[in-house]
Amino acid sequence: MLENFPAPRPMFTTANVPLTCNFLRVNIPRKSLYHYLVTFEPEPKRTSVFPLFQRIVTENPLGNIAFDGINMLVSDTKFEDKKIVQKLARGTVECSIVYKNTYDMTEVSQFLDAYANTNQNVSAPSVDFGTHIQVLETIF
């Protein structure tokens, strides 16, 4: 049995209007996350990408990773670019995993903590916040 499920959700407003929001606090890792671009040759049908990738990483483990089901892979460990050839019933497919960027999540985590603790406007971090959030969406 899960304790505290569902998680309590805070209700807060400054407009004196009762408001219930769908908000769950997430602890963002204060570490670097590594973004990789995943491509396939030949390109599979969109509905086949995730099962194909799952099969590839089952046979070729990459460690702690998250995949968005399209082309973005996030890892907590940096590794060399990879080309993996996978045999299929109708030929082979080559999966390329190419390093794109490193995202230090510390500044984003500090910003979100400050915002959550003050419920006021806080200066946004100097990093590319949108891309950092996209990386986080992949892992959560």
Residue the block writes with tokens 């892992």? 139
- What single string gives the DSSP state of each residue in 8-49? P-----SSS-------------SSEEEEEEEEEESPPPGGGH
- Rounded to two decimals, the pTM is 0.70
Q: What percent of the chain has pLDDT over 90?
A: 42
- Tell me the C-alpha distance between 11 and 24, whole Å: 11
pLDDT of 1 > 60? The answer is no
Beta carbons of 24 and 7 less than 8 angstroms apart? yes
> Is residue 136's pLDDT more than 90?
no
Short-list 128, 68, 123, CA closest to 101? 128
Q: Work out the average pLDDT over 24-50.
A: 88
Top-confidence range, 14-18, 30-34, 109-113, 132-136? 30-34
Is pLDDT of 21 > 60? yes
- Cβ-count burial of 33 within 10 angstroms (0-12 exposed, 13-18 middle, 19+ buried)? buried
